[in-house]
């Protein structure tokens, strides 16, 4: 079993290495170095941007919308039935650039061990650094966002944490089609949803991948301190049939692996196909079919999911992106020698297969107004179980409200809620368990210089369950955590090449 886990992890790193190799091959060999003088830098910024590439089979409405966005923006035409959330397309620079950044911070933590009992305040010292890179060349558009760092705890009984996040996308625009290669990887000391280890700040540029929930591991239960690896790799092809219609096909593999705690490792193979039809230059309809195969390394059990959805999307370039998809979800459960019994255990001895009908809903809203940005998402369906349950009925709601403080820094609020419930087919109503998790936070950045800012942040995490659960060596029914962070952030302006 351990060999299978190692094999899966090696496969993930191999896929990530392949995408990084594609990036390196697409970079120019003789990139011009930017001048150190401010005058030369301003002159480079004022040059006419390279026009975004459009397939000749894309609709004329896309070209009309290009001029409606902010100055220097380009349209990001993501298909409604694809693996990514649709985008308002307000990309502030469509030239090749890279943008380094780092942050150093100190955090006061009311529950550093993530214990379910009484806890004492502790402190963290964190350092993270990274870069965002974009390279455009002819029909190729490559984006990469990476962040790495370390969290050092003042508590003797709390382990230090390592942060690694990577998002890579390669978009190849051909005559009648667009091929996209995407990879999203995270290596974190706790669950990814609502992660507040560095003051609630996003680690990487979400625009690098923007994968929807059906293509990610969906880790939405707090599982205590313990390093975990999550990776999602996607290959997607969109083919234009007419100026108004297209079809998409996407294949993906997602991996969730835990290096500590007695949790359930899982892998998910996904296929999705869809048909898109553009009603107007802003409105699109889509029909979507998706299949998922959930497998668990420590359980002889598989879960097959078939779903069909009708979707509506509305995009106003530089202002609004909205999408909603809903439909039935048919789930086939194949249970082997044991039934799921909580955090990795099994109970009973039965072999059978059964089919259940559920429903699924996926929606997202992104609204931009002047310096304000509002983002909302909601997802309901059958998921992998977040390492605690072998399959779960999941509801996830997230929201963000940000305000641009300067060209490089933004402040805002974030909040979210998730519910994961056992599926009755496994353990029956008598042992049904549900996990309710809330998080909320605020971040304020005060620019000191153009590229340097002082940041203040607060983050709250609260989780409760219908029956006692265990985190590390402490068991209970609820978990509460407060974090207060003060930090110094440096974010360089885009350096063209």
**Is the separation of the CB atoms in 274 and 88 below 8 Å?**
no
Could you please report the per-residue DSSP string of 355-395? Answer: EEEEEEEEEEEEEEETTEEEEEEEEEEEE--TTTSSSEEEE
pTM: 0.80
Could you please report the per-residue DSSP string of 292-354? Answer: EEEEETTSSEEEEEEEEEEEEEEEETTTEEEEEEEEEEEEEEEE-S-EE-SSS-EE----EEE
User: Which residues are registered as beta bridge partners of 456?
Assistant: 444, 486
- Tell me the C-alpha to C-alpha distance, in Å, between residue 119 and each of 109, 157, 438, 480: 10, 12, 19, 10
Q: Which pLDDT tens digits describe the chain residue by residue (497 residues)?
A: 444 444 444 454 444 444 444 444 434 433 333 333 344 334 333 333 333 333 333 333 333 333 333 334 456 789 999 999 998 865 545 689 999 999 999 999 888 877 776 678 889 899 999 999 999 988 899 999 999 999 888 887 788 888 899 999 999 999 899 999 999 999 988 888 877 666 555 555 555 678 888 898 878 888 877 788 999 999 999 999 999 999 999 999 999 998 877 788 999 999 999 999 999 999 999 999 999 999 988 787 888 999 999 999 999 988 999 999 999 999 998 876 544 444 444 444 457 788 999 999 999 999 999 899 999 999 999 988 888 888 889 999 999 999 988 888 889 999 999 999 988 765 444 467 889 999 999 999 999 998 999 999 999 999 998 877 775 556 778 888 899 999 999 998 889 98
Q: Which helix (H) or strand (E) holds 23?
A: helix 2-26
**Is the separation of the CB atoms in 204 and 166 below 8 Å?**
yes
Length of the chain: 497
CA dihedral 479→484→485→486, nearest 10 degrees, is -170
Residue ranges and CATH numbers for the domains of the chain are: 2-26+61-496 (2.40.160)
Distance CA 156, CA 471 (A): 18
């Amino acid at each position: 079993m351990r060999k299978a886990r190692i094999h899966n992890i090696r496969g993930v790193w191999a896929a990530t290495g392949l995408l990084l190799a594609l990036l390196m091959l697409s970079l120019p060999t003789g990139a011009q170095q930017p001048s150190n003088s401010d005058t030369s830098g301003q002159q480079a910024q004022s040059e006419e941007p390279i026009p975004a590439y459009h397939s000749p089979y894309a609709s004329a409405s896309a070209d009309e919308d290009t001029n409606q966005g902010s100055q220097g923006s380009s349209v990001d035409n993501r298909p409604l039935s694809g693996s990514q959330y649709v985008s308002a397309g307000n990309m502030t620079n469509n030239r090749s650039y890279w943008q380094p950044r780092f942050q150093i911070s100190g955090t006061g933590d009311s529950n550093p061990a993530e214990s379910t009992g009484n806890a004492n305040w502790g402190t963290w010292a964190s350092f993270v650094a990274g870069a965002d890179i974009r390279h455009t060349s002819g029909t190729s558009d490559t984006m990469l966002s990476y962040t790495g760092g370390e969290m050092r705890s003042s508590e003797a009984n709390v382990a230090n944490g390592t942060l690694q996040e990577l998002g890579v996308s390669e978009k190849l625009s051909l005559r009648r089609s667009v091929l996209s290669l995407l990879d999203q990887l995270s290596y974190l000391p706790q669950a990814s949803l609502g992660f507040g280890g560095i003051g609630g700040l996003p680690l990487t540029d979400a625009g690098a991948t923007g994968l929807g929930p059906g293509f990610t591991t969906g880790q939405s239960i707090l599982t205590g301190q313990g390093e975990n690896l999550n990776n999602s790799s996607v290959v997607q092809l969109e083919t234009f049939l007419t100026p108004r219609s297209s079809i998409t096909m996407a294949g993906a593999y997602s991996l969730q692996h835990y290096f500590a705690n007695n949790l359930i490792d899982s892998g998910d193979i996904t296929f999705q196909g869809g048909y898109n039809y553009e009603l107007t230059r802003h409105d699109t309809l889509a029909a979507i079919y998706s299949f998922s195969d959930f497998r668990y390394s420590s359980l002889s059990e598989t879960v097959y999911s078939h779903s069909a959805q009708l979707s509506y999307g509305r995009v106003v370039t530089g202002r609004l992106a909205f999408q909603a998809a809903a439909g039935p979800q048919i789930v086939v459960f194949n249970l082997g020698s044991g039934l799921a019994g909580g955090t990795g255990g099994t109970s009973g001895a039965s072999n059978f297969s059964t089919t259940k009908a559920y429903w699924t809903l996926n929606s997202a809203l992104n609204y931009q107004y002047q310096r304000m940005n509002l983002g909302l998402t909601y997802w309901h369906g059958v998921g992998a179980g977040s390492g605690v349950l072998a399959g779960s009925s999941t509801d996830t709601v997230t929201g963000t409200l940000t305000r641009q403080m300067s060209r490089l820094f933004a402040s805002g609020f974030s909040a979210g809620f998730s519910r994961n419930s056992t599926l009755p087919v496994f353990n029956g109503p008598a042992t049904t368990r549900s996990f309710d998790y809330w998080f909320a936070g605020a971040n304020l950045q005060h620019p000191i210089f153009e590229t340097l800012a002082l940041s203040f942040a607060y983050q709250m995490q609260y989780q409760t369950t219908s029956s006692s659960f265990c985190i590390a060596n402490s068991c209970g029914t609820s978990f509460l955590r407060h974090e207060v962070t003060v930090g110094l952030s440096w974010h360089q302006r885009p350096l063209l090449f």
